[in-house]
Amino acid sequence: MSEKITVIGAGTMGSGIAQIALEAGFQVNLVDTEQGFVDRGIGNILKFVEKKVEKGKLAQVQYDNIFSRLTGTTDVKKAVAGAVMVVEAVFEKFELKKEIFQKLDILCPPDVILASNTSTLSITSLAAATKNPARVIGTHYFSPVPVMRLVEVIRGKETSDTTANKTVELCQKFGKTPIVVKDIPGFIVNRFLCLIYNEAANMIHNGSASAEDIDMAIKLGCNWPMGITEIIDLAGVDVCAFAIEAMYQMTGEERYKPSPLFEKMMAEKKLGRKTGEGFYKYEK
Ligand SMILES: NC(=O)c1ccc[n+]([C@@H]2O[C@H](COP(=O)([O-])OP(=O)(O)OC[C@H]3O[C@@H](n4cnc5c(N)ncnc54)[C@H](O)[C@@H]3O)[C@@H](O)[C@H]2O)c1
């Protein structure tokens, strides 16, 4: 019988993490607060995997096999029974995550790894909410999870070598390339990206360059597949602005002070692709 992974939160990231574990041959139990949310998460996995079958990247037999290993529930206690790792991917709210980690700490035997997919919160602080911080770790996947190759593995102050080594091994089995990073604000990727997004917004705000020229420069001069403001429009102007604000709050460093352009765009509901306009206009 294959090992079992439990994923708490069946949203964008949780369903993606569940999918890569399923494709790697694990049993997966997906948990959310309402059955409707669980079903939506499973539906998203179905859609992704069906596309793979259509494109010939996955055989029908593998497809059937994947779904025989997936279960969804709203019952955390049932869901974590027998799991080797529980990955938390709920909303980015410290109090909510803390409550979940406290519950998991009681429900799971001491050798079960408790991982958080937080993009900003301190793993050391989350771990401090448990009686066994040695088994708490961060696994920061990127969206869309089945496509992006990296995972940042974040060691808290008390994370044990056993937990870190087993987590790296599991991430590799999921087909990802893990890098072990320190528990600092933004870890590695968001630390850079927030600065880059903010600089692009400031340049546009003070008239130094247009969004089109910035994107052209980055695509042709740095070989990025997408321009900076194209990426912000895709991720959401508000999402990026909140991440930069969080970095500013956590570090207190002026270089992360959010560009005034973000506030202006949010007031005008120019949030990117999702509202039909951000740095660019989009056909609805
Ligand atoms: N979206 C991204 O690009 C991205 C990238 C990296 C990391 N993250 C992080 O991943 C986490 C999840 O983000 P997301 O984009 O998937 O959010 P999302 O809003 O798509 O999904 C969150 C899910 O958690 C569920 N949930 C809330 N409380 C719960 C509880 N008590 N028990 C079980 N489920 C609960 C919600 O119902 C929802 O389905 C966040 O910490 C976020 O910062 C997001």
pLDDT in tens, 94-150: 999 999 999 999 999 999 999 999 988 999 999 999 999 999 999 999 989 999 999
Measured from the CB, is residue 11 less than 6 Å from ligand 1?
A: yes
The DSSP line for 165-219 is HHHHHHHHHTT-EEEEE-S-TTTTHHHHHHHHHHHHHHHHHTTS--HHHHHHIII
Q: Mean pLDDT for the chain?
A: 96
For residue 99, the ligand 1 atom closest to its alpha carbon is 31
Edge-first strand order for the sheet with 177-181 is 70-73, 27-31, 4-8, 83-88, 113-116, 136-141, 150-155, 177-181
- Tens digit of pLDDT for each residue in 207-245? 999 999 999 999 999 999 999 999 999 989 998 999 999
pLDDT surpasses 80 at 160: yes
Measured from the CB, is residue 13 less than 6 Å from ligand 1?
A: yes
Secondary structure of residue 159 in the 3-state scheme: coil
| 12 CA → ligand 1 middle, Å | 7
Long-range contacts of 257-264 (CB under 8 A, 24+ apart): 257/198, 258/198, 259/198, 259/201, 259/202, 259/205, 260/205, 261/201, 261/202, 261/204, 261/205, 262/201, 262/237, 264/205
Distance CA 136, CA 15 (A): 21
What is the reported pLDDT for 62? 83
What are phi and psi for residue 177, nearest 5 degrees? -105, 110
What domains does the chain contain, in order, with CATH numbers?
Answer: 4-181 (3.40.50.720), 190-274 (1.10.1040.10)
Measured from the CB, is residue 72 less than 6 Å from ligand 1?
A: no
- Tens digit of pLDDT for each residue in 62-101? 888 898 999 999 999 999 999 999 999 999 889 999 999 9
Distance CA 74, CA 119 (A): 24
| 15 CA → ligand 1 middle, Å | 9
Distance CA 166, CA 160 (A): 10
Q: Which residues are catalytic?
A: 119, 140, 152, 190
Distance CA 270, CA 265 (A): 5
The DSSP line for 227-283 is -HHHHHHHH-HHHHHHHHHHHHHHH--GGGPPPHHHHHHHHTT--BGGGTBSSSB--
* β-bridge mates for residue 152, sequence order: 140, 179
What is the reported pLDDT for 238? 95
Q: Whose CA is nearest to atom 18 of ligand 1?
A: 11
What share of the chain has pLDDT > 90, as a percent?
91
Measured from the CB, is residue 8 less than 6 Å from ligand 1?
A: yes
Measured from the CB, is residue 79 less than 6 Å from ligand 1?
A: no
The whole-model pTM stands at: 0.92
What is the reported pLDDT for 152? 98
